């Protein structure tokens, strides 16, 4: 949980510090990358969130190894996607997108897809309405994000360039909140549903007479 909170704090700092040169509604998050130390805040927040995803996967393997395999895979995929977005920042300069920018975009797509899917699975598994609702909200934000993305066939029709950056900035805290709730919920799995084989009755051994 600490990793998700730290990620939120560092990301918020980067956005507040860049309030003047970066338009939070229209400019993408990649607009922070050329701005001195603020890029390090964004990078640090991304790495902290990736560590939190790995911690969720580890916790799931410990408390629910049988039924959480899919959620663990998605959590690890989200962590790897976050690390790739940190290593390959988005190109903020106009013009053709460099190879690193393409890697960043596709890695972000993996993150924004994997975390809501894992959150939905864990929300049902842990019986957490908040986690399930936030997962649905994240999917809705992702749909708007893709629709407003430059190059989308409907971006011009809905004026996507005016608020594409804002939707992306809402996706970031939504993802961090998903990881936070998932980490908090790992200790609330109903005992009757745990896949711990140590709770199964031990069969009686035959006795020789």
Interval 166-176: pLDDT, tens = 888 888 888 88
| pLDDT at residue number 26 | 52
The separation between the first and the last C-alpha atoms of the chain, rounded to the nearest angstrom, is 57
List pLDDT tens digits, range 86-120. Answer: 888 765 544 445 666 678 778 888 999 999 999 99
| pLDDT at residue number 163 | 77
| pLDDT at residue number 18 | 52
Asked if the model's pLDDT at residue 1 lies above 70, the reply is no
| pLDDT at residue number 203 | 43
Residues 6+ apart with CB under 8 A from 178: 115, 116, 118, 119, 131, 134, 135, 138
Cβ–Cβ under 8 Å, residues 10 and 41:
yes
Q: How far apart are CA 74 and CA 62, in angstroms?
A: 16
* Predicted TM-score (pTM) of this structure: 0.75
List pLDDT tens digits, range 124-166. Answer: 888 889 999 999 999 999 998 888 877 778 888 888 777 777 8
b/e burial code for range 156-187 (CB count within 10 A of at least 16 → b): eeeebeebbbbbbbbbbebbbbbbbbbbbbbe
List pLDDT tens digits, range 20-75. Answer: 555 555 555 655 555 555 667 777 888 888 999 999 999 999 988 888 899 999 99
| pLDDT at residue number 41 | 73
Per the rule left: phi > 0, alpha: psi between -120 and 50, beta: everything else, 162 is: alpha
């Amino acid at each position: 949980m600490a990793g998700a909170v730290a990620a939120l704090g560092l990301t918020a700092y980067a956005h507040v510090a860049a309030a003047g040169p970066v338009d939070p509604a229209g400019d993408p998050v990649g607009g922070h990358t050329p701005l001195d130390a603020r890029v390090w805040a964004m990078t640090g927040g991304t790495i902290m969130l990736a560590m939190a995803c790995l911690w969720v996967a580890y916790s799931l393997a410990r408390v629910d190894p049988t039924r959480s395999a899919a959620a663990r895979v998605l959590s690890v995929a989200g962590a790897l996607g976050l690390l790739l977005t940190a290593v390959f920042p988005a190109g903020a300069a106009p013009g053709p997108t460099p190879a690193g920018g393409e890697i960043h975009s596709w890695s972000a797509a993996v993150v924004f897809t994997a975390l809501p899917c894992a959150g939905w699975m864990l929300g049902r598994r842990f019986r957490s309405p908040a986690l399930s609702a936030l997962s649905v909200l994240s999917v809705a934000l992702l749909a708007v994000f893709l629709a407003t993305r430059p190059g989308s066939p409907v971006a011009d029709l809905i004026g996507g360039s005016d608020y594409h950056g804002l939707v992306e900035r809402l996706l970031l805290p939504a993802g961090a909140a998903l990881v936070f709730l998932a980490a908090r919920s790992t200790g609330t799995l109903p005992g009757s549903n745990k896949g711990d084989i140590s709770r199964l009755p031990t069969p009686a051994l035959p006795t020789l007479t």
